[in-house]
Amino acid sequence: MLKNLLVASLALLGTVHIASAHYISKATLTCPTGIKGSLLFDDPHKGYVAVTVEFTNLVADERYNYFIDDHAVPADGDCSKTGNLFDPTKKYKDPNNYSCTADKASKCAKGDLTGRGGVLVGKGIGQTTTLTWHDTQLALRGTNGINGKSVVIYNGSRKLILCANIEKVQ
Ligand SMILES: *[C@@H]1O[C@H](CO)[C@@H](O)[C@H](O)[C@H]1NC(C)=O
Ligand SMILES: *[C@@H]1O[C@H](CO)[C@@H](O)[C@H](O)[C@H]1NC(C)=O
């Protein structure tokens, strides 16, 4: 009897586990200057998306901003053709009166990753900068899901230097 119960509850656990498999998406970026990195978006279905930003060979002490734009990168690779900042809830109405921080995440445009995750600061050749946070404003799938959109990176001079598509991993 006990054994049967145990088997039954293990089977149930197995079902629950499968039903809650993480959704994962990724954007991988490389640049002729040697900068390379990725953004990993992992949704464990707990009310947030765990974001991991990892970049190598960024210029030492350079401060990079990174955002999600509305559209995928076109076939010609032109990062300037990815549309506007992803902002379906229209938080970025007035640029002079906009503030997005980790502790006021609900005031953020969904695409404003820098506001919630912090500026990406370079450490020089061979060095890696990593940022991680739990993002309450993102979803990978469904209405306002980020799959099929793109990540864009700006350097300290506000020049758009890199972009890549956010693609579904699982
Ligand atoms: C800035 O935004 C706040 C909150 O949305 C609003 O109350 C305030 O009037 C705005 N200020 C200006 C100068 O637009
Ligand atoms: C930012 O990128 C532009 C365009 O690639 C480049 O000319 C400029 O030197 C970069 N700025 C810095 C501080 O690296």
Q: Please state, as a whole number, how many other Cβ atoms lie within 10 Å of the Cβ of residue 31.
A: 14
Q: Which residue segment(s) compose the domain that 83 sits in? A: 21-168
Question: Does some domain include residue 10?
Answer: no
Q: What is the pLDDT of residues 16-64, one digit of tens each?
A: 445 579 999 999 988 888 999 999 999 999 999 999 999 999 999 999 9
Residue nearest to atom 2 of ligand 2 (CA): 159
Q: Please report the sign of the dihedral spanned by the C-alpha atoms of residue 148, residue 149, residue 155, residue 160.
A: positive
> For residue 33, which atom of ligand 2 is closest to its CA?
5
Gap between the Cα atoms of 63 and 112, Å rounded:
15
8 belongs to a structural domain: no
Residue 57 domain flag: yes
Please tell me the distance from the alpha carbon of residue 6 to that of residue 88, in angstroms, as a whole number: 47
Answer whether residue 2 shows pLDDT above 90.
Answer: no
CA–centroid distance, residue 59 to ligand 2 (Å) = 10
- Residue 160: band (very low, low, confident or very high) from pLDDT cuts 50, 70, 90: very high
97 Cα to the center of ligand 1, angstroms = 6
Burial class (CB in 10 A: 0-12, 13-18, 19+), 166: buried
Q: How far is CA 64 from the centre of its chain?
A: 15
Count of domains for the chain: 1
User: For residue range 89-146, what is the model confidence (pLDDT) as tens digits?
Assistant: 999 988 899 999 999 999 999 999 999 999 999 999 999 999 999 999 999 999 999 9
**Is residue 4 domain-resident?**
no
Q: Looking at the domain assignment, is residue 5 inside a domain?
A: no
Residue 10 has pLDDT above 50, yes or no: no
Identify the pLDDT of residue 8.
41
Q: Is residue 102, in this structure, part of any structural domain at all?
A: yes
In a domain, 28, yes or no: yes
Report yes or no: 165 and 72 within 8 Å, Cβ to Cβ: yes
Contact predicate 41/138, CB 8 Å: yes
Q: What is the dihedral of CA 133, 19, 146, 117, to 10 degrees?
A: 0
CATH of the domain at 83: 2.60.40.200
61 lies in a domain? yes
